[in-house]
Amino acid sequence: MIITRTPFRISFAGGGSDLASFYKRREGCVISASINKYMYVIVHPTFNREETIVKYSKTEIVKDVHTIKHDIARERLLELGLSGVEIVSTSDIPSGTGLSSSSAYAVGLVHALSAFQGKLYSQEKIAEKACELEIERVGSHIGKQDQYGTAIGGLKFIRFLPNGRVAVERLALSSEVLKALDDNLLLFYTGITHNAGEILKEQASNVENDDSKFRNLVSMTHFARDMRDSLLEGRLSDFGHILHESWLLKRQLSNKISNPFIEEQYSKALEAGAIGGKLLGAGGGGFMLFYCPNEKQKDLRAALSEMTELPFNIEYSGSKIIYVGDKTWD
């Protein structure tokens, strides 16, 4: 038996520039961090080796891997020529909430099945294989930031090059700045789930066909680079302001990104003392992230009482194997 644990991620700036519709024309970049909420993937040989079992919100028991309905599991098994295994997944966060559950699953699955076959890859290689799985084999209309954001731990500046390569810079901040950042970031659940693929498909089309949308994304990559500098220099108030300005641009990329409820909650948050914030993921629902000084957080929580807060911290391990046979690592 193999068990992998893969963190979810929060993203701060540059989202959308990880889509091929953008980075093939101009280098994209994002700032993101993995958090201590996780996707767990378990792989074990089936008792009846003629059966392959995939358990998620449903249970599939098949004799032919081609008939598996869970597209990520099916395509990875087909790619590896593997059957006679049971794959079980469980997570701390539901899907469709903007924390990259699909890519965390893909990363965790790639990691677990590789280990099951006796192959160990770097986190960067696992992310690369997860991108190939989701984008090329499954055909999902998504970018590359989530696979790298979940496979590799900590706070990162990720670049998406026109040749398709991805470069990851782990941001080395002082312990004081990291603690202040951790303490001043808050997550709230809107109660609305979304279909990221549909939103990103429309966004990609808009970027390809509308020069103003393309220019918006160019500006968002500038914000991501400015945010990197503000973090490295410990200017966290500037980080919060860039978060705000970047959100104002992001919501213009597609009319499906925001909605009246989200706009109302965002306005309440700013009035209560948040410096900046954004909706995580593709948009349309899920979690809202805010940067708010500690002394204003009580007011922020009161203002956003219609939503549910999710306490969290930035984590630094990335995707890891926590159990092999009778050995456990925490």
- What confidence tens digit (pLDDT) does each residue in 39-49 have? 999 999 999 99
Q: For 201-228, what is the mean pLDDT?
A: 84
**Band of residue 204 on the pLDDT scale cut at 50, 70, 90:** low
Per-domain residue ranges of the chain? 2-172+315-328, 175-309
282 phi/psi in degrees, rounded to 5 = -70, -30
Dist. CA 64–CA 61, nearest whole Å = 9
How many other β-carbons are positioned within 10 Å of the β-carbon of residue 45? 11
What is the average pLDDT value for the chain, to the nearest integer? Answer: 93
Task: Give me the architecture of the 2-172+315-328 domain, per CATH.
Answer: 2-Layer Sandwich (3.30)
Tell me the helices (H) and strands (E) count for the chain, helix number first.
11, 13
Between strands 52-55 and 85-91, the pairing is parallel
Dist. CA 268–CA 178, nearest whole Å = 26
The 10s digit of each residue's pLDDT in 174-194 is 999 999 999 999 999 998 875
Fold of 175-309: Alpha-Beta Plaits (3.30.70)
Give the pTM: 0.93
Dist. CA 184–CA 22, nearest whole Å = 31
Residue 188 · residue 310 · CB < 8 Å: yes
Same fold, 2-172+315-328 and 175-309: no
